Structure 1
């Protein structure tokens, strides 16, 4: 009996192959610049561990050594640059997930005989953090913006109030919000347009504007007056867009004023998702569309993972199997 024929593996420079992988992901699957950057960052970590890494080095033992290296490596985190070691299991899962996609691509294209992660147990981790703001936390944030912080102008006060309410009542991403133009807001039709160039999904989408958001936007736009910048959000002292740099200053002021050290604007997206899910009586399909996800599993796993256990319990008590007659 003849043995099974073994394919001859192809060869190539690992870095060049990674660039080919990225090129295909960008054009064939429409990956956003943010997603591409995450892939690059994780590949760079692998190269940092072994600068001369090549295809023959992609073994299970190499991956074990790689994560051992990452766990021992000192790194600075947070605004105070605290030095820490040890990766959280969720971080291990993220790094592994990005590299695993590349390794599967190498396997599919016959550059490796086996994915080096195949014999490594996937890290077990649970999300116990509550990423959505509590009502008490949101009240602190709102009062900090509207009452406690002395802003340099009324324009800044009204801009920051409207800015936060857009996050809370639409659930859009940070980049989508910062990238809004005046022409993206249609208060008469009550529609908000997210352009593909600012969206992680790279697709245009139109979001209904919550009636409760309109007064905040109108108040800000009236104060904005004759500014000529086409960006919706303008800086406080010049006729130009509110930037990522300006947002960092805003976030730091909110942290100091509220004492919420883990304040960051992406938590508003979690807050929107959690509250919409509850108030819509668990309409996951509508929430998926509003969040801009291709798959409802992404919505569930990323934004409803800390959904209150007591609410799940109540829903289970009401759950009934449909009767077919």
Structure 2
């Protein structure tokens, strides 16, 4: 016998409480809750039970299969297998929690496997596009100063969009030319930046000081028309600037790939890159370096001139 308390939409709030207890970021928690809600909506639309103890392996399998056939409602393009894999992982952690809490007797994910997904190489934006993007922000308005600082910080540090968005004024250290960001798992790390980024940040801070929110001691570093900017707002900013610069759209995460590629291409140590990027697994090195690994390998061969030594 089940009750409304067994509905996965109700149980999701208990799961969120557990995630907060584990000090997971608000963004991570939001992602889990969103995926649980999508699954509940699917079950309801299909006339299937939404009570945790009644959900079976077949229900989950049917949902993942359904996701693999869906199209993005905005673009009309097929949803990527990686999208289905992301939802699989979220729901897997949710049902693991339900099993631990003895809300369900059997974990329906037992003996299920993650859907296959072909490896997708994220294109590294060419440096000419980045120069055009910065040229588009070369004015002296508040927005120009802010956007230049954001883009330069992206390129110079390889930070994630959420890490950049969450910066506070006090996170900047101009004695060391570093920024302290909060990465995945709420793990802080310090990232250095160069002189041009320092200049861009100092110019922005000078115009920021006149912003109405700054006058009221707002701690958030990035300010928009109505207050602190969100990571979504920063994504829109980059999209808008790319369009104005007449270049192909650059997703903020591509800056991270650009940073990793150029670090390795200039002889940077892999262990140092892991520290700067906030990675714990060496698998991330392969993922971020793969899209232009062939180019780097050819350049290394030309530098070595092995055949010319005979």
Q: Same fold (TM over 0.5)?
A: yes
The change in CA–CA distance for 1:317 and 1:41 in structure 2 (over 3 A counts) is: farther
Q: Which residue pairs with 1:24 in the alignment?
A: 18
Answer yes or no: is 1:285 the counterpart of 2:271: yes
Kindly state the Cα deviation for residue 164 of structure 1 after the two structures are TM-superposed: 0.9
Retained in 1: the 8 A contact 2:156–2:194?
yes
Q: 1:232 aligns with which of 211, 221, 225?
A: 221
Kindly state the Cα deviation for residue 314 of structure 1 after the two structures are TM-superposed: 7.0
Instruction: Give distance in 2, aligned partners of 1:177 and 1:121.
Output: 31
Instruction: Give distance in 2, aligned partners of 1:279 and 1:123.
Output: 34
Q: 1:180 aligns with which of 161, 167, 190?
A: 167
Q: How many residue pairs end up in the alignment?
A: 289
Instruction: Give distance in 1, aligned partners of 2:176 and 2:202.
Output: 14
Which ranges in structure 1 are unaligned for 5 or more consecutive residues? Answer: 1-11, 319-325
Which ranges in structure 2 are unaligned for 5 or more consecutive residues? Answer: 304-310
Secondary structure of the structure 2 residue equivalent to 1:76:
coil
Secondary structure of the structure 2 residue equivalent to 1:232:
coil
Secondary structure of the structure 2 residue equivalent to 1:206:
strand
Q: Which residue pairs with 1:323 in the alignment?
A: none
Q: 2:145 aligns with which of 158, 170, 175?
A: 158
The change in CA–CA distance for 1:56 and 1:255 in structure 2 (over 3 A counts) is: same
Indicate the RMSD between aligned Cα atoms, in angstroms. Answer: 3.4
Kindly state the Cα deviation for residue 38 of structure 1 after the two structures are TM-superposed: 1.2
- Identify, as 1 or 2, the structure richer in helix: 2
Instruction: Give distance in 1, aligned partners of 2:145 and 2:67.
Output: 44
The change in CA–CA distance for 1:308 and 1:19 in structure 2 (over 3 A counts) is: same
Retained in 2: the 8 A contact 1:144–1:257?
yes
Q: Deviations over 1:142-164 (max 9, x none)?
A: 22222xxxx6x533322221221
Retained in 2: the 8 A contact 1:235–1:241?
yes
TM-score by length of 1: 0.73
Secondary structure of the structure 2 residue equivalent to 1:83:
coil
Secondary structure of the structure 2 residue equivalent to 1:94:
helix
Q: Which residue pairs with 1:101 in the alignment?
A: 93
Retained in 2: the 8 A contact 1:170–1:272?
yes
Q: Which residue pairs with 1:168 in the alignment?
A: 155
